[in-house]
Structure 1
Amino acid sequence: MSNFPSQVRLLSNLIRYAQYRMSRSFTIECHRPTILHKKGVDIIHNPWFNKGTAFSLTERDRLELRGLLPTNVLTVEQQIDRFTTDLKKIELNARDGDTVSLAKWRILNRLHDRNETMYYKILINNIKEYAPVVYTPTVGLVCQKYSGLFRRPRGMYFSAADRGEMMAMVYNWPSEQVDMIVVTDGSRIMGLGDLGVQGIGIAIGKVDLYVAAAGINPQRVLPIMIDVGTNNETLLKDPLYLGLQEHRLEGDEYVSIIDEFMEAVFNRWPHVIVQFEHFQGKWASMLLHRYRNTYRMFNDDVQGTAGVAVAGLLGAVRAQDKTMIDFPKQNIVVAGAGSEGLGLLKAARRTMARISGNNKHAFESARSQFWVVDVNGLITEERNNIDDDLKSFSKKSKEIKRRGLSEGASLLEVVQEVKPDVLVGLSAVGGLFTNEVLTALQGSTSSRPAIFALSNPTTKVECSPEDAFSIVGKHIIYASGSPFKDVDLGNGETGYCNQGNNMYLFPGIGLGTLLSGARIISDGMLQAAAECLAEYMTEDEVHKGIIYPPISRIRDITKAVAVAVIKEAVEERLAEGYRDMNYRDLKRLNKEEILLHVENNMWQPDYPTLIYKND
């Protein structure tokens, strides 16, 4: 009889869950027949609906495709075999690394332009191999060459010449519903600087990952470029450059363009989520503060990079045989005070404060754990004309004098004196962590110092993994922003190269926000995402020095992050529900049921049944 109450509770939960399942439609959207108002060549030329040689004979009759395709009907597996065979030939024939990756990008892009379902099926099934092609690091090269690579438009382009017209322009996009927009102004593409309209390549890469990792329907994602000119003199003089050939708008004129854009897209798609991407530092934080409490938006460079880095920092603490409680005691040197660096500082400080008790004293004391160095050296209270947010991380005069340092002390001097547990690079200065800096890190007070060389692309990384392991020691934790191969340390030992890739978080943040129907994306939702990622690794993995999971698990990681975001949105009473799942329904669900809700709302790359209906 002692187990009777627990049996009753179990039976009650099972009944409730059965009722929940019966009351919901779990039919995945892509399995429903798709009604089209077009047929014939219009379908073949539409990448959303084209199946190529996989159209069945029945569909060919129904859609008036007979005679427009070769006779033999192939399975999707046969189609993929044909495609990947051609793709493998590229690797065999090409010699230069950039040539190989760029050639792969070209072929994949051509596939996308004719058959999106097959494109995403290949990308999802081979995400580890092709994520570096559609995203970091190849996307940097693509952006540099985009004017020459352009063949068919993807996404939308809003420019300074479109002022007053954007509210009407958004209706030129053919999709009635858009869930995710990734927008850039091309002003600071990775570590490559101002690439103007060519920065659309980064937005395209990001929406591809929203589909592949988060299962957002590809008909509901939209990459956008806001072209307000460029200050890149090479592009201004290039007759083949595709963007506005005038210097960038500044001040109120610039802000008015972004304001008009935001009003236009949310007017047509009130529930869309907008991810800001690669805006230069002076605009990134300002625009984030301007819109985040009004629109469903976030800045991946500021908030996503910070979340991934914080997850890695927490993982490094675990790898040092410590617990999360020890995180607020970590001494962290951050090289780089741009939007990404500031985002990391603020997120890490909030995490430290929360772990320490989430009170004002804890928040203030966390300040002392950070040492921030920019191009002018150590930032102290004596520094003039610095951002108020960054000022809160400046070192106090008494402390730096006690340490024998001064305003503007070099990175080497700071590392030698502080002996940090963690050295973080978000500087976009390749090789910033010189041999001398790495040698100084040998004196770290930590038994296992961590090096986060997070700048992208690979040419901008602060130090290579080989240098880090050979100079500082085999015992370190190493993470980078771009992918590197693990280092063979000899004697059967491996130096693991963790990629602190934003794709671990932003797809889950977007998916969780979408399915929760949250009004805004709060700091709590972002923190829940970071903590979920930090907890994803097993104890065995972190002790080996593996603090981020393999990209091959990205779909499962995204599900877990989305669940964490939904739960936090519900707890903060920000959730309003999605489709037939309202706030009260979400509140009643346990973690497993939320996961099922997430899984059943993720698009799968399967060919739908197509039905023609005359208007």
Structure 2
Amino acid sequence: MHAKTNTRQPVGRELLDNAELNKGTAFTAQEREQYGLRGLLPATIFTQEVQLVRVLGNLHRKDSDIERYIFLMALLGRNERLFYRLLIENIEELMPIVYTPTVGQACQEFAHIFRQPRGFYITPGDRGHIEGMLANWPERDVRLIVVTDGQRILGLGDLGANGMGIPIGKLSLYSACAGIPPRQCMPVLLDVGTGNESLRDDPLYLGVKQPRLTGEAYTSLVDEFVDAVQKVFPRVLIQFEDFLTPNAYSLLQRYRDRVRCFNDDIQGTAAMALAGVLASCRITGTPFSDLRIMFLGAGSAATGIAELIQAALQEAGLSGEAARDRLWFVDQSGLVVADRDDLAPHIVPYARNAPRTDFEAAIRMAQPQVLIGATGAPGTFTEDVVKRMSEINERPVIFALSNPTSRAECTAEQAYRWSDGRTVFASGSPFPGVDYQGHTLRPGQGNNAYVFPGIGLGVIACNASRVSEDMFLDAARVLADSVSATDLESGAVYPPLAQIRTISLDIATAVAERAYEQNLAREPRPKDLRAAIEELMYDPTY
């Protein structure tokens, strides 16, 4: 059923059109003779280092981030290794272009900026044919799939088939940040329609122009997809991304114990946030086990964070009930309390036996040291909220995690100014440093890219049969431990992104160690696990 991988060496124009193998003007004289390239390239031979200077200069000449995004995607489409080396060596500058916040705009405009097909699309019309369709993918050794149905893209809502920008962006970070070879990565879009009428009315929209598939028809299509990829790509890890909360939870529960998979919005975000909370304790001096934490938002991200924090609190010695009692939730209807009849099943365990009240009154009641926003609602951390947190705490910890930047609960500058520079702040999208009373305060970026690439690398390296909760706890601890004293002095609870490949390797090693400990690993354990994993990491240098 499956076509054999074509191992024939491309030559001539075919080689220059092969993004994986193309080196452009870096092909040597000998290579130009050997591969039939004489006359197809300018005379001067450039090193990859000089090529980097050229592409970075061209990138900087673009007038907007969306134009820079389009430029980078075009580079990826013609010279894969040059793209990844550029991204790796300029990760702090380029991650906000390749992923949040610019990827949000790229998804919104996806149909209008479309240049080149990338990724794999599955529609309701493909029911019964998915396994056979997978043979059309050019690679046979797929180890990692990022899949979305486009219903809850960042904080932007239902973008349907435009959501393909998310798997493409995530997988580029897997390769750049953790060295997963690009050929082992596969972006997938479950194009099951959209509830966004403006998209269905857009003549340029690329997806299925019908209302979104729901119920058993939806679930059975996802089942067929999951079962098919297990057969065609038996070593694959599936990452679910940007599904609406009810589907995110139901699909995770459906597959987590029988398929190598995880949900980044629930579990990756949780590990990232837990790491930030653990690091913040080194600034505030408050023992982790003494924390009271309030969440604004009760979706998959917030409850995923709460579940992992609860597990960490229990490891710190608290009972399950005592750990859960440290966690407070507020949503758009106010404090999550037991007598409400509008609570989704995933939030019910956190409902409190307390009177109904609004957000600010809930802060006064709970007296939290940590406030975490995962709402997608900009401006919800108001000046009054920040000042209230500052009255309660000498060093309030405030995480405004919603993406993209336009959806953040507050900005770094607002948090610092409203708290007289005392807030320990982190956000989902990057904010610049803030000069406050002669000091530069550096907000931490709570980016899932600190976590998911290393987890994926560790799972793939040892061929773990499933992804356990303990792996996310380990990832959070490794990330928290990587925050230096210098980082903390500037107010940051995350390390510089420039260190991300080392951090990913450290996380991968811890994840693989856990897999061996839990008898989940299917590969023999090497003597030097870290060195063996590092050997697997993709290097785009030529």
* Other-structure match for 1:527: 473
One-letter identity of the residue aligned with 2:453: P
One-letter identity of the residue aligned with 2:290: K
Provide the secondary structure at the position in 1 that maps to 2:350: coil
Provide the secondary structure at the position in 2 that maps to 1:389: coil
One-letter identity of the residue aligned with 1:485: P
Distance 1:385 1:474 in 2: 38
* Other-structure match for 2:109: 145
Equivalent residue for 2:176, pick from 192, 212, 215 = 212
- 1:514-541 deviation per Cα after TM superposition (whole angstroms, max 9, x unaligned): 1121100000111111111111113453
Tell me whether 1:417 sits opposite 2:381 in the alignment.
no
* Other-structure match for 2:420: 473
One-letter identity of the residue aligned with 1:498: G
TM value normalised by structure 2 = 0.97
* Other-structure match for 1:601: 536
Provide the secondary structure at the position in 2 that maps to 1:169: helix
- 1:87-116 deviation per Cα after TM superposition (whole angstroms, max 9, x unaligned): 2222xxx3xxxxx11111111111111110
Provide the secondary structure at the position in 1 that maps to 2:208: coil
One-letter identity of the residue aligned with 2:522: E
Distance 2:369 2:343 in 1: 26
- 1:563-592 deviation per Cα after TM superposition (whole angstroms, max 9, x unaligned): 111111111111111xxxx1xx34xx4xxx
Task: Tell me if the contact between 2:395 and 2:422 (Cα under 8 Å) persists in the aligned partners.
Answer: yes
One-letter identity of the residue aligned with 2:305: L
* Other-structure match for 1:429: 377
* Other-structure match for 2:327: 370
Task: Tell me if the contact between 2:426 and 2:492 (Cα under 8 Å) persists in the aligned partners.
Answer: no
Map 1:381-420 onto structure 2 (within 5 A): 381-396=338-353, 400=354, 406-407=355-356, 409-420=357-368
With over 3 angstroms needed to count, the CA separation of the structure-2 counterparts of 1:544 and 1:76, relative to structure 1, is: closer
* Other-structure match for 2:386: 438
Map 1:447-466 onto structure 2 (within 5 A): 447-466=394-413
Task: Tell me if the contact between 2:484 and 2:495 (Cα under 8 Å) persists in the aligned partners.
Answer: no
- 1:133-186 deviation per Cα after TM superposition (whole angstroms, max 9, x unaligned): 000110000000000111111111111111111010101011121111111100
Distance 1:543 1:44 in 2: 49
- 1:408-441 deviation per Cα after TM superposition (whole angstroms, max 9, x unaligned): x111111122221011100110001112212221
Tell me whether 1:553 sits opposite 2:538 in the alignment.
no
Distance 1:272 1:304 in 2: 18
Equivalent residue for 1:489, pick from 436, 442, 455 = 436
Provide the secondary structure at the position in 1 that maps to 2:329: strand
Tell me whether 1:498 sits opposite 2:498 in the alignment.
no
Task: Tell me if the contact between 1:187 and 1:195 (Cα under 8 Å) persists in the aligned partners.
Answer: yes
* Other-structure match for 1:331: 292
Shift of 1:35: 5.4
Task: Tell me if the contact between 2:19 and 2:80 (Cα under 8 Å) persists in the aligned partners.
Answer: yes
Task: Tell me if the contact between 2:471 and 2:514 (Cα under 8 Å) persists in the aligned partners.
Answer: yes
Distance 1:176 1:238 in 2: 35
Distance 2:346 2:207 in 1: 34
- Give the percent of matched residue pairs that are identical in Structure 1 and Structure 2: 41
- 1:216-252 deviation per Cα after TM superposition (whole angstroms, max 9, x unaligned): 1111111111100000011011111110110000011
* Other-structure match for 1:190: 154
One-letter identity of the residue aligned with 1:41: R
* Other-structure match for 1:28: none
Distance 2:368 2:240 in 1: 32
Equivalent residue for 1:347, pick from 308, 318, 332 = 308
Distance 1:546 1:133 in 2: 22
Distance 2:333 2:279 in 1: 31
Task: Tell me if the contact between 2:390 and 2:423 (Cα under 8 Å) persists in the aligned partners.
Answer: no
Equivalent residue for 1:68, pick from 32, 40, 48 = 40
Shift of 1:280: 0.6
* Other-structure match for 2:199: 235
Distance 2:134 2:480 in 1: 39
Distance 2:166 2:540 in 1: 22
Q: Identify which range, 213-222 or 540-549, moves more after superposition.
A: 540-549
Equivalent residue for 1:85, pick from 46, 57, 61 = 57
Map 1:86-125 onto structure 2 (within 5 A): 86-90=58-62, 94=63, 100-125=64-89
Distance 1:540 1:105 in 2: 32
Distance 2:329 2:127 in 1: 40
* Other-structure match for 2:3: none
TM value normalised by structure 1 = 0.85
* Other-structure match for 1:6: none
Distance 1:182 1:473 in 2: 42
One-letter identity of the residue aligned with 1:559: L
- 1:9-44 deviation per Cα after TM superposition (whole angstroms, max 9, x unaligned): xxxxxxxxxxxxxxxxxxxxxxxxx95343222211
Task: Tell me if the contact between 1:416 and 1:443 (Cα under 8 Å) persists in the aligned partners.
Answer: no
Shift of 1:74: 1.8
Provide the secondary structure at the position in 1 that maps to 2:391: coil
Task: Tell me if the contact between 1:320 and 1:543 (Cα under 8 Å) persists in the aligned partners.
Answer: no
Shift of 1:72: 2.4
Tell me whether 1:576 sits opposite 2:522 in the alignment.
yes
Distance 2:48 2:491 in 1: 40
Tell me whether 1:159 sits opposite 2:120 in the alignment.
no
Structure 2 unaligned regions, length at least 5: 1-5
Distance 1:465 1:391 in 2: 32
Shift of 1:68: 2.0
Task: Tell me if the contact between 1:319 and 1:544 (Cα under 8 Å) persists in the aligned partners.
Answer: no
Task: Tell me if the contact between 1:328 and 1:369 (Cα under 8 Å) persists in the aligned partners.
Answer: no
Distance 1:371 1:52 in 2: 56
Shift of 1:49: 1.0
* Other-structure match for 2:252: 288
Greater length-normalized contact order (CA 8 Å, ≥ 6 residues apart)? 1
Shift of 1:200: 0.4
One-letter identity of the residue aligned with 2:447: N
Distance 1:434 1:537 in 2: 29
One-letter identity of the residue aligned with 1:170: L
Distance 1:219 1:499 in 2: 29
Shift of 1:543: 4.4
Task: Tell me if the contact between 1:318 and 1:543 (Cα under 8 Å) persists in the aligned partners.
Answer: no
- 1:186-227 deviation per Cα after TM superposition (whole angstroms, max 9, x unaligned): 000000000000000011110000110010111111111110
Shift of 1:54: 1.4
One-letter identity of the residue aligned with 1:78: V
Equivalent residue for 2:210, pick from 240, 246, 263 = 246
Distance 2:73 2:310 in 1: 41
Shift of 1:46: 1.2
Task: Tell me if the contact between 1:419 and 1:443 (Cα under 8 Å) persists in the aligned partners.
Answer: no
- 1:473-513 deviation per Cα after TM superposition (whole angstroms, max 9, x unaligned): 312200000000111112x2122211000000000000010
One-letter identity of the residue aligned with 1:554: I
Distance 1:475 1:431 in 2: 19
> If you compute each CA radius of gyration, which structure gives the higher value, 1 or 2?
1
Shift of 1:78: 2.0
